[in-house]
Amino acid sequence: MAGLISPKPVSYLQHNGQYNPYARGGLSNYSVTPPLSSASHQQPGQFMNNPNTNANLAAQEDSKIYGLVIDLLDPNTREGALLELSKKREQYDDLALVLWRSFGIMPALLQEIVSVYPLLSPPKLTAHVSNRVCNALALLQCVASHSETRQLFLNAHIPLFLYPFLNTTSKTRPFEYLRLTSLGVIGALVKVRRIPTFCPCSVRPMVDTDADTARSQQNDNNLVIHFLLSTEIIPLCLRIMETGSELSKTVAIFIVQKILLDETGLTYICHTYERFYAVGTVLSNMVNQLVETQAVRLLKHVVRCYLRLSDNLR
Ligand code: TRP
**Which residue segments constitute the domains of the chain, with CATH numbers given?**
62-191 (1.25.10.10), 209-314 (1.25.10.10)
pLDDT of residue 40: 42
Residues contacting residue 63 through CB under 8 Å, at least 6 positions apart: 27, 30, 31, 33
Question: 37: closest CA among 68, 72, 73, 65?
Answer: 65
In angstroms, what is the span from residue 251 Cα to ligand 1's centroid?
Answer: 19
Give nearest CA residue, ligand 1 atom 14: 275
Helix (H), strand (E) at residue 18: strand 18-19
Ligand 1 contacts CB of residue 281 (under 6 A): no
Round to whole Å and give the CA distance between 42 and 224: 35
CA-based nearest residue to 3, from 97, 76, 131 = 97
Our answer on whether the CB atom of 228 is closer than 6 Å to any ligand 1 atom is no
Cα 104 to averaged position of ligand 1 atoms, centre (Å): 36
Confidence (pTM):
0.81
Handedness of CA 166, 227, 255, 137 (dihedral sign): positive
Rounded Cα distance between 32 and 42, Å, is 11
14 - beta bridge partners? 19
Distance CA 106, CA 140 (A): 8
Cα separation, 259 vs 226, whole angstroms: 9
CA distance 264 to 231: 14
The answer to whether the CB of 234 is under 6 A from ligand 1 is yes
Tens-digit pLDDT profile for the chain (314 aa)? 333 333 333 333 333 333 333 333 333 333 333 445 444 444 444 445 555 688 898 888 889 999 999 999 999 999 999 999 999 998 888 999 999 999 999 999 999 999 999 999 999 999 999 999 999 999 999 999 999 999 999 999 999 999 999 999 999 999 999 999 999 999 999 997 655 444 444 444 555 677 888 888 888 899 999 999 999 999 999 999 999 999 999 999 999 999 999 999 999 999 999 999 999 999 999 999 999 999 999 999 999 999 999 999 98
User: Hey, which of 232, 239, 262 would you mutate to test ligand 1's pocket, going by the most ligand atoms within 8 Å of its Cβ?
Assistant: 232
Residue of the CA atom closest to atom 6 of ligand 1:
235
Half-sphere exposure of 22 (CA within 13 A, CB side): 4
Q: Is the bond into 75 cis (omega within 30 degrees of 0)?
A: no
- CA dist., res. 225 & res. 219, Å (int): 10
Tell whether ligand 1 has an atom less than 6 A from the beta carbon of residue 278. yes
- CA–CA distances in Å: residue 143 to residues 25, 33, 136, 191, 244: 27, 21, 11, 13, 25
CA 138 to CA 182: how far, in whole Å?
Answer: 9
244 secondary structure, DSSP code:
S
- Rounded Cα distance between 17 and 237, Å, is 49
Q: What is the DSSP letter of 33?
A: S
- Residue 28: helix, strand or coil by DSSP? helix
Minimal-distance CA residue to ligand 1 atom 9? 235
DSSP 90: G
